[in-house]
Structure 1
Amino acid sequence: MIQQLLQANWPEWNGRLAKGPTGWNNTTHFIHNEQRRSVMRIYNTHRDRARIEFEFAVLDSLQRVPLSFKIPAPISSMSGDRMVRVQDGSERYACLFAYIEGVRPEEGSIQAAYSFGEKTGELVNALAVCSIGMKPVYPPYYELLQSYPVYNEAFILDFCNQPPPAFKDQGEALHILKEAYADICSRLESLKNLPQQLVHGDLNFSNLLVDVGRPYTVTALLDFEFCTQDVRAMEPAVVISGFMGMADEKEAIRQFCEGFAQRVRLSAEEIGAIPVLMRLRMVDVFLHFLSRYREGTDESSVLREQVDMLAAGFQRMEYCQEWLDDMLFQCLL
């Protein structure tokens, strides 16, 4: 199927295929031939052309800003379009991107944490001056209730208090998530007043590349699919939430924040909101996987894993709240 897509739309890029990383939302394939290399991305969870068009508009705007790292560069097909339908009856879209040198960081390693902070701060500054001329497709994180209208407080309470059979033994974890959901919903209105701009919204170790010979240096930031207008402090909050639970979480967060502060300084109000934004991100992840389960996209085992992981994350945040607040203000103010 992939080679048929290439032959029909990007024949000069056709070549040897290698399966790339598969995420929750898309699959990738590497294509190699004697002249060039590329990456095909297939969007699995939506059939919405407007989402990809906004993503590409952001990438086009960023291409005009000097950056010390690479970002995805879409390749036009023979017809001039940069997205094509997959001819398998699924109505999914496929896009081709120029290959970017680099490797994903070694799992559990924090070697690139400082560089990750620098590049994140650089991206924040670049996105602040981007002119898109299009309305974002994805809502900001703080519009949680509008983003998941079906999964309102009554639904969440019912699901957590009287879970389906597959989740009956996760009562304690679901109680933690229920309490976190209620707490975050009570704070959403106050978050809207924080400084806003375009944000990537999903930066983590799976969405970056590091130099092969210098694994402490980030060479690329990837996957701008969820880029939208949101609270500026959400960008570091998403990254920091991903460090929680790592063996060297404290050092990883410190290095990231020190690198980020080389490019961006946040206000005291923004810094104080980061732990709340981290919890908001985690609640959003819970609702995201709950919706995937309810829609039949994932088996119950996927949601079970997320429930346990997120509940542990909320407990971890309670435990480390004091040192996290001190570190954030020490490094970012």
Structure 2
Amino acid sequence: MPTLNVAPGLAAGGVFLFAARMTGDTPLGSSLNTAPPDLSERESLDLLVRHWGIEGRLDRLTSERDLNWRVSSERGRYVLKFANRQEDPEITRFQNLALQHIAAKDPSLPVPRVIPAADGATEVPLVDGSLMRLLSWVEGRPAHLAPPSSPLRRGVGAMAGRLTRALEGFDHPAAGHHLQWDIKQASSLRALVPDIADDALRQLCAQWLDWFDAIRPGLDALPWQVVHADLNPHNLLTAEDDATVVAGVLDFGDMVRTPRICDLAVAASYQIDPAAPLASLAEVAEGWADSLPLLPKESALLPGLTAIRMVTTIAITSHRAARWPDNATYILRNFPSAKAGILALPRP
């Protein structure tokens, strides 16, 4: 089992601040501050029939910034996706190309497959400038419904490592896009910290951001690549007959080029057992190491980067839930586990 060593605290000097695209007074960017597309079920189905020739029933799926429908048809089940109108179309194309890369590199990985339209196109532009696309449906049970267990934690780590391995060698001009969920952008979360209502939690998050500012330059020396970057339990599926087996990965909307270790930190941040935080973190890392053995520097930074992902979840969801109260239940779905996890991990 990998040994995890917490990186020692560094002096407050040498703070490295990342420039962020600002929208109003926040660093979230336009797609995170713009409501999802507002097409009706009938309008969405008409577009599906026109471009894919598929008739069926549409059931709306929850999404942070896009409009997604589950399609049930005689030809099978699919996910019909309409990108946020503020999202650069190249980012949608980036996601499709990544899925195609994964399918070629590791065909047995349980991820969505891109379904071409009738004319062979993988994305269809709409009049507002956004894109629609169709993906295959991945079978399984939502992992957030599975009881926590050591085998599941190792399975999450193993799937994360295998997926990151499958994305090795893939790149795209949009891979460097700014996304506030990306761990390497954590310094610009300071603009959102005041939105955290709990005083003690707000102060703890600020302390972790001080830690991150100090270690940020060292991330440049680690391996970087395109990663999924959002392996939370709502984007993972377990097997129908075994809640300890990870059977699918969904939602590649947060993919980005970043330090490789950040993908493990994201996955681990949702698997922490507050009663045994470092031991549960090591279980996730053990699964990851089956495909990608940790470098010593990655191992040392992993606990802190895991905490930074929790800070990211707490800060962004606090801000967005206030802005979009009608979608607050969905936005805040991971807040409780992030709060419990960050309170359990050793302090910076």
Is this a same-fold pair by TM over 0.5?
A: yes
**Cα drift, residue 27 of structure 1:** 4.2
Matched, 1:100 2:138: yes
**Cα drift, residue 125 of structure 1:** 1.7
Q: Provide the rounded CA distance (Å) in 2 between the counterparts of 1:200 and 1:265.
A: 18
Alpha-carbon distance change, 81 to 214 in structure 1, aligned in 2, over 3 angstroms = same
Give aligned pairs, total: 300
Residue of structure 2 equivalent to 1:24? 64
* SS of equivalent residue, structure 1 residue 186: helix
What is the TM-score of this pair, normalised by structure 1? 0.76
The answer on whether the counterparts of 1:16 and 1:33 sit within 8 Å (CA) in structure 2 is: yes
Which structure 2 segments of 5+ residues have no match?
A: 1-42
Residue of structure 2 equivalent to 1:327? none
The answer on whether the counterparts of 1:176 and 1:311 sit within 8 Å (CA) in structure 2 is: no
* SS of equivalent residue, structure 1 residue 172: helix
**Cα drift, residue 312 of structure 1:** 4.3
Residue of structure 2 equivalent to 1:276? 304
**Cα drift, residue 69 of structure 1:** 2.2
Residue of structure 2 equivalent to 1:181? 209
Letter aligned with residue 141 of structure 2: V
Q: Provide the rounded CA distance (Å) in 2 between the counterparts of 1:34 and 1:312.
A: 44
Matched, 1:237 2:265: yes
Alpha-carbon distance change, 308 to 171 in structure 1, aligned in 2, over 3 angstroms = farther
Q: Provide the rounded CA distance (Å) in 1 between the counterparts of 2:273 and 2:86.
A: 31
Residue of structure 2 equivalent to 1:74? 114
Alpha-carbon distance change, 103 to 27 in structure 1, aligned in 2, over 3 angstroms = farther
Q: For residues 210-269 of structure 1, what are the alpha-carbon distances to aligned partners after superposition, in whole Å with 9 as ceiling and x for unaligned?
A: 221233322222212222221111121111111125678677545433322222211111
Letter aligned with residue 134 of structure 1: P
Structural mapping, 1:1-333, within 5 Å: 1-11=43-53, 13-20=54-61, 22-44=62-84, 46-84=86-124, 92-105=130-143, 106-110=145-149, 112-130=152-170, 132-139=171-178, 141-145=183-187, 148=188, 155=191, 160=194, 170-245=198-273, 252-289=280-317, 292=320, 296-298=323-325, 310-318=338-346
- By relative contact order (CA 8 Å, sep 6+), the higher-ranking structure is 2
Alpha-carbon distance change, 58 to 255 in structure 1, aligned in 2, over 3 angstroms = same
Q: For residues 246-302 of structure 1, what are the alpha-carbon distances to aligned partners after superposition, in whole Å with 9 as ceiling and x for unaligned?
A: 6786775454333222222111111001012112223333453466468x4457967
Q: Provide the rounded CA distance (Å) in 1 between the counterparts of 2:274 and 2:146.
A: 10
Alpha-carbon distance change, 195 to 229 in structure 1, aligned in 2, over 3 angstroms = same
Query: Which segment is superposed worse, 230-239 or 68-77?
Result: 68-77
Q: For residues 48-70 of structure 1, what are the alpha-carbon distances to aligned partners after superposition, in whole Å with 9 as ceiling and x for unaligned?
A: 21111111121121121124322
What is the TM-score of this pair, normalised by structure 2? 0.73
- The percent of aligned pairs where both chains have the same amino acid is 20
Q: Provide the rounded CA distance (Å) in 2 between the counterparts of 1:97 and 1:202.
A: 18
Q: Provide the rounded CA distance (Å) in 2 between the counterparts of 1:208 and 1:311.
A: 21
Q: Provide the rounded CA distance (Å) in 2 between the counterparts of 1:208 and 1:307.
A: 17
* SS of equivalent residue, structure 1 residue 56: helix
Q: Provide the rounded CA distance (Å) in 1 between the counterparts of 2:233 and 2:275.
A: 15
Which runs of structure 1 show a deviation greater than 4 angstroms over 4 or more consecutive aligned residues? 245-252, 297-312
Q: Provide the rounded CA distance (Å) in 2 between the counterparts of 1:225 and 1:25.
A: 10
Letter aligned with residue 78 of structure 1: A
